[in-house]
Amino acid sequence: MPQPLPFVIDPTGADRHAEYRALRARGPATPVDILGLRAWAVTDPALLKALLTSPDVSKNGRAHYPAFQQTISTWPLALWIEVQSMLTAYGADHRRLRRMVAPAFSARRIARLKPIIRSLVTELVDDLAAVPPARWWTCVNGWPTRCPSP
């Protein structure tokens, strides 16, 4: 069976929602072209979770992508694949980085954040409620700025 042609991603994101619909219509995973770099877009949440948690799938381009150095020196979106973080680290390095951020996500810390988050969300929803629905998009698109007055 022949491979489908890659879906060419618009790097400007001019119509992301239409692009997402088109990607989902192609199935749970589809080849894509992002400024000349071939990759896969995964649109199925269960498949994405399976891939991200599989020891057989690499999250580190440096370790497993033969053209990594050549690509990052010329590709305009190199930061997408060049980033080094807890999300791209393996084994001991991943555990070391995870230990550093774990206190920020402890049950006690999250519980202390609840009233702050609740207050902020209430304030933002109240601001949004004061704006006519026709202008909601400008509020959401302009986040985190305040909604304009009605």
Using one digit for the tens of pLDDT, what is the confidence trace for 48-89? 999 988 888 877 778 777 888 888 888 887 877 788 888 888
pTM: 0.59
Residue 141 pLDDT greater than 80, yes or no: no
To the nearest 10°, the Cα dihedral for 80, 86, 92, 97? 140
Q: Which among 54, 50, 6 is positioned nearest to 26, based on CA atoms? A: 6
To the nearest 10°, the Cα dihedral for 94, 95, 99, 102? 70
